[in-house]
A and B are shown apart, each in its own frame.
Chain A
Amino acid sequence: MSIADASNAGPPLSVRLRSQLGGYGFLLPWLLGFVVLTLGPAVSSFYLSLTDFGLMGPANWVGAENYVRIASDDPRFWTAMRVTFTFVLLSVPLKLMFALAIAVALNKGLRGLTVFRAIFYLPSLVGGSVAIAVLWRQVFAGDGVLNQVLAALFGYEGPSWISNPSTSLYTLVLLAAWQFGSSMIIFLAGLRQIPQDMYEAASIDGASRSRQFFKITLPLLTPVIFFNAVILTIDAFKAFTSAFVVSDGSGGPIDTTLFYTLYLYQEAFTNFRFGYASALAWVLVVIIAIFTALSFMSAKYWVHYDD
């Protein structure tokens, strides 16, 4: 663009800037927060990932050494990857199905809908909290509520679900799936957007309820499903609180609940390797970015946009 073009395009720069000042003024609180609390630490974190920063000492430049070690010499990194991927691949579809099923049920014009909506949303509000994770610990312990119910109903003596290596991770998947509330609300909103006349036309043509669901509801809902899937996947990769509380920060029993973020936390705060932990954080960023990119690439094959 030449200078002449720019001057023809509108008032001079200073005038435009002044007119936009108000806008930037309103943006300022967010902008400040972003730069000081997000961008700044992110930049320092990247720098630290290239150093051997420990607890107190100076941060010595080590280049890509941390990244090389992650890839070649860290068995626990792979344990954490396995645990995290299992968690993501199980909890995300489960949560989506729960959320969609409940949303469809609630969309039937139930009486007292608002009450039910609030009740189903409740776990999402409190579910991420420490208190619920503590409660989960009690419910799934060896002498917990679940086993007492199982014993009373079926005479079955359950294991200590959360401290048994073969079941511990699945109790956390269940805890995550239970917090389907926010996806459900978004599904509900999506369901409301689907024009009623489509269903009327379909039922006049004799389409069954399930056929209507698979031929109208699901296809028209794909943008919302896509949105939810992306958000839930990112959240699941970052899951931390439940594993931290249930295993007391150890990722135990025997590393079976060693979520990626928990491993990162341990490397930084119990093993004093802040540089290495920063490198782990950046690897996670790349993993999430790849997953999100893959989702978007797949979207054109299954997501239907109306317009």
Chain B
Amino acid sequence: MLGRRELLQLGLLFGGAATLLQSPLRSALADSATMRLFWFGSPARAERTLSVARLFEAANPGVKINGEVGGNDYWSKLTTMLAGGNAPDIFQLAPSRFADYARRNTMLPLGDYLGSTIRTDKLMSGVLDLGAVDGKVVGMPLSLNAFALIYDSVAFEKAAIAPPGPTTTWDGFARLCVDITKAIGRKNVWAVGNGARYSYAFEAFLVQRGKRLYGEDGRIGFDATDASDWYGYWESLAKNGGCVSAEVQAMDKLQIDSNPLSTGHAVMAIAFSNQLLGYQALAKNRLGITSLPIADAAGPSGLFYKASLHFGIASTSRQPELAARFIDFFINDLAAGKILGVERGVPINLDVREAVAPLVDDVSKRSVDYISSIAGRVGAFPPQVPIGASEMEERVFRPIADQVAFGQLTVAAAGEELVAQANRILRS
């Protein structure tokens, strides 16, 4: 009779055989200092990122960086590689999931490298906190962004309706959405996507009420009433014809190219400031950018500066030192900064930011100007997301919003359901 230890050994033996076969090859690769870099994003981002990698190789003879780009499948690919023990040396993360991965010990704390290999003297003050989890910096913020409302300025001009601005309230926004939809008067074109699905829009809505998406304790920072109010807002906007139908919204995979603004079903998008570049690349009309609607003029704006993305070094990396050097190059080198521009957001190195400013094109400038314009209104960065945030993104926020949109769940029940599911997932 096999004991469980033997069974494990047997499994590892067989399963591991495939890995063992490769090991001579692997150590050979390690000798020549090859490093893997994995990120997700548009082709434009790939081009810029690879150019920086080539520049780094030129400055460090003998070093080779293999870039790998992910699309929709990025997260599952990354998870597969992490679980399989062959994670890329450096990988990109987004704030909505960053700490979920960090808390699962997938990344190396950067403490040993900060201030030495990774120079921090020119960085914006406090910016490293955006990559800190439980007091340790584990992810390097690459750039800053903030929530933003992106709109087709030509559509508003044609309709002779003033576009939304920093003082637009949620109620005003709802009226505006209905008006512009009517003014456009085309079938299957609405003002905006159904924002109930976007956890980040919900987060801004909550911050404006003095609540949080997630609290310090790793639980949700809101209650069923907040959630019902949120669903109710979009439910009534959908009923009044101000936002897209459930069927159109269900096609949105939360990517720039699948957002109703890009597919021609809407003239506004609730997004992030740096995404203006991506949206503009797909839109023929000039896009404007402003902040999200607010609860009332006296209250908080719901905005905060956040790391648009992070780089993390895999805890299994064989060359953490080299990886740290690359990260330093990526954020601190002027030439690298000029290549990267503001595609990932506004640079966190103040010298780089200054050097990049005069070089950027009109679209990038609009995005940067927006970030500067909200400086007086941003609040503190909220607590890092808890373990389970990825599952909340994929399995909770979107499906519940869809159920409401398709009429399978009432607004009140959806609020209860969101809280119940969140408590179930975040209990561990």
Contact = CB atoms under 8 A, between A and B. Distances in A.
Interface string A46-80: 11101000111100010000000000000000000
B408 A254 contact: yes
B75 interface: yes
A143 interface: yes
Q: How many of chain A's residues touch chain B, expressed as a range?
A: 35 or more
B14 A36 contact: yes
B104 A43 contact: no
Given A55-B82, A254-B408, A270 B14 contact: no
A253 B406 contact: yes
Given A40-B13, A40-B17, A44-B14, A56 B104 contact: yes
A41 B13 CA distance: 10
Contacts of B13: 40
B391 A271 contact: yes
Given A160-B248, A252-B402, A271-B395, A56 B105 contact: yes
Q: State the main secondary structure of chain B at its contact with A.
A: helix
Given A45-B11, A56-B104, 12 more contacts: A44-B12, A44-B14, A44-B15, A48-B11, A253-B246, A253-B402, A265-B76, A269-B75, A269-B80, A270-B390, A270-B394, A271-B395
A86 B315 CA distance: 44
Contacts of B82: 55-56
A165 B406 contact: yes
Contacts of B394: 250, 266, 270-271
Interface string B56-83: 0000000000000000110110011011
A164 B315 CA distance: 43
B247 interface: yes
Interface string B297-335: 000000000000000000100000000000000000000
A51 to B, nearest CB: 9
A40 B15 contact: yes
A159 interface: yes
B240 interface: no
B29 interface: no
Contacts of A40: 11, 13-15, 17-18
A46 B11 CA distance: 9
A270 to B, nearest CB: 5
Contacts of A27: none
A270 B391 contact: yes
B241 interface: no
Given A43-B10, A57-B105, A270 B75 contact: yes
* 6 tightest Cβ-Cβ pairs between the two chains A and B: A40-B14, A44-B11, A163-B250, A269-B76, A160-B247, A253-B250
B26 interface: no
Interface string A150-180: 0000000001100111000000000000000
B18 A56 contact: no
Contacts of B27: none
B76 A41 contact: no
Nearest to B11: A44
30 contacts: A39-B14, A40-B11, A40-B14, A40-B17, A43-B11, A43-B15, A44-B8, A44-B14, A47-B11, A55-B79, A55-B83, A56-B83, A56-B104, A57-B104, A57-B105, A142-B188, A164-B247, A248-B72, A249-B72, A250-B253, A250-B394, A252-B250, A253-B246, A253-B406, A254-B399, A266-B394, A270-B79, A270-B390, A270-B391, A272-B79
A50 B105 CA distance: 22
Nearest to B258: A248
